[in-house]
Every structure is written in structure tokens, then in C-alpha cells.
Amino acid sequence: MGLSLDRNGLLTLDNTKLSKALTADAASVVNLMARTTGVASGGLMAKFSDVITAITDPTKGVLVMRNESFTKQAKKIDVRVTQEQGRLDAYANQLRRSLGDMDAKVAANKVVQQTITNTFNFGR
């Protein structure tokens, strides 16, 4: 009939084959391609339309559902990032306090060391 689908999902139409099929048996081609009015199934193009509608439906289509799923995942990741950043900030502050305490102790020890040095070197 002249329709072909490649492995990437590209649908192509061979006009020569379609013309030959229409010439040979137009009614069969129409029945294959179109959905008869009042019938719920059948027709290749109608099935394509059904599939595309299922994918693109603005309320429950696959694309909308995937987008909602990705949005939820992104929000969860944002929350985790914020929590982790808070944990890292608290840890950095703890390290800064510890470093400040150590600096103060080293400075105090230097004063004591200098005092001891001055005391024992006095008069020499």
C-alpha cells in the first residue's frame, strides 16, 4: 500500500504504491486507512490519531504525566539540596568555631611560652 515505518518511527508514504493500491481496490484501502463513522475501532490513521491523543492529551496524556513526574522529582531534589546545604553550612560553622578556639589556645600558649622564656632568661 506504500506505507512504511523505519526503526526510528518515521512513517513514509510511497505515492506510486498507494496509487496502484487505490486503482486495484480503493474500497479496501479506504477501509484500512479510515475509521467508519459510528465505529469505535479500526482505521490505521484513526489509530495513529488515538495514539497521538493519548500522548498529547493536556490532562492525562503521557507527556503531561511525565512532565508532572519530573517536576515532582525536581522538587524533591531541591528539598534535599537545601537540606544538604544547611547541613554543610552548619558543619562549616562548627569547623570555623573549632579553628577559632584552636587559634585562641595557640595564642594563649605562645603568651605562656614567652612569659616562661622571659622568666628563665631574665638576667642572663
Please tell me what DSSP assigns to residue 13: E
Do 51 and 63 have their domain in common? no
Q: Cell triple for residue 53?
A: 491523543
Mean pLDDT (whole number) for 76-82: 97
Q: Range of 11's domain?
A: 1-56
Given a cut of 80, whether residue 25 has pLDDT beyond it is yes
pLDDT (0 to 100) of residue 122: 66
In whole angstroms, how far apart are CA 66 and each of 9, 29, 50?
20, 36, 18
Do 52 and 64 have their domain in common? no
In angstroms, the CA 16 to CA 4 distance is 13
CB atoms closer than 10 angstroms to residue 50: 13
Q: Using CA of residue 97, residue 100, residue 106, residue 109, what is the dihedral sign?
A: negative
The total number of structural domains in the chain stands at 2
Given a cut of 80, whether residue 124 has pLDDT beyond it is no
Do 26 and 71 have their domain in common? no
pLDDT classification of 5: cutoffs 50, 70, 90: confident
Mean pLDDT (whole number) for 85-110: 95
Do 68 and 38 have their domain in common? no
φ, ψ (nearest 5 deg) of residue 62: -60, -40
Do 72 and 111 have their domain in common? yes
4 CB-near residues (< 8 Å, 6+ apart): 11, 12, 14
Is the whole model's pTM more than 0.85, yes or no?
A: no
